[in-house]
Structure 1
């Protein structure tokens, strides 16, 4: 085999995919095509963030591996490392020293709440998604569904997990009307107030 190309990777490295397939210069194209199903299965097992994998050949010596990844919905910080969250709140058991890309970090969520929150994030409008920096589970006695969100533009949002999806779409308009950075409270109504000046 002469060339191995990887197409379609966003958060995974091309070399990471090639290593996981165990295809190298000594592999024959015939073998790869004959066993493509089991190679794909083993690779997906090793790299759970891969949704599907397919192989195409050119000139009988070049191979293209096309990868479809599950979309990243953020990262969770635990055991002094970051772990990727993909569809349905599934956490990829692969520790990273720092997150890759512009995705939110989730804090203090139980597994079921993480699944719920990451699914909510997946359905937010893209102009809101790109502004979300960190999402904290922040329940109170009065509201066990309370969350806090740090935005990339410096504002903070307080919201209720049950209504945040429908209310967060108003965020860009509310943020644009604020004269100073502050808090946008979407928990019950929808109002904003500037951060208190530190004396």
Structure 2
């Protein structure tokens, strides 16, 4: 190939190379412009009402009102949704004695969801002022009067300290709901011979004696044991390791 032919070949390729460089430069410029506008939009979003909380949803609450949970969280409409410290807010809601667990999540563009799980209400502690709802964790709530009782849990009598309340709360939680639903009243009646003894009055009219720390285990067979009792006989049913029934003349203390 002659020298002139080589020069012509290179000259023919120059426009193609220039076009490729121009297209590459245009793509780079377009990418820069897109990134620039994206950053502008992000800046506008953070500075505009679009990033402000306009709704706070509370779910899972029964004992507490939505307003009580919102106040505990410290969240309010108008706050910047991205400036919220979720861990701090979760810790604040967790201070409520009714709360077992809580989750807080952002729901774009401008909503906050608070999902709570409350300790179940397992009984009502009797007091001179009224009835104190007892939670599974042994905490008691504000007094409700007899007219406000909903019959969803037994009445607890003489459970004076938090430890025994926590124990009966845990035991009731681990007891089958159909059995708990048949309990009208539980009285803490310890003796020297039976330091953990409980006296139960059932909705079916039976008086039961059992132990605090083994309550859930000992009460499990109650329906089957009760079915074997002659309803015409009056006495006390002992739900212990081995259940047995004593008629009144032999059950008196």
TM-score by length of 2: 0.62
Match of 1:19 among 45, 66, 71: 71
Match of 2:195 among 144, 155, 165: 144
CA RMSD in angstroms, aligned pairs only: 3.1
Q: Which runs of structure 1 show a deviation greater than 6 angstroms over 4 or more consecutive aligned residues?
A: 193-196
Instruction: Please state how far the C-alpha of 1:99 moved relative to its aligned partner.
Output: 4.8
1:108-160 deviations in Å (ceiling 9; x for gaps): 12423333332322322333223233210113454332211122344331223
Instruction: Please state how far the C-alpha of 1:179 moved relative to its aligned partner.
Output: 5.3
On the 8 A contact 1:83/1:93 being kept in 2, the answer is yes
Match of 1:4 among 52, 56, 64: 56
In the alignment, which residue of structure 2 is the partner of 1:161? Answer: 212
Match of 2:174 among 116, 120, 123: 123
On the 8 A contact 1:75/1:84 being kept in 2, the answer is yes
Q: Which has the larger radius of gyration?
A: 2
Return 187-196 or 159-168, whichever deviates more.
187-196
> In the superposition, relative to structure 1, how do residues 192 and 118 fare at CA in structure 2: closer, same or farther (>3 Å)?
same
In the alignment, which residue of structure 1 is the partner of 2:89? Answer: 39
Equivalenced residue count is 192
Q: Compare the two structures and name the one with the higher strand fraction.
A: 1
The CA distance in 2 between the partners of 1:147 and 1:132, in whole Å, is 12
Gaps of 5+ in 2: 1-52
TM-score by length of 1: 0.76
Gaps of 5+ in 1: none
Instruction: Please state how far the C-alpha of 1:93 moved relative to its aligned partner.
Output: 5.1
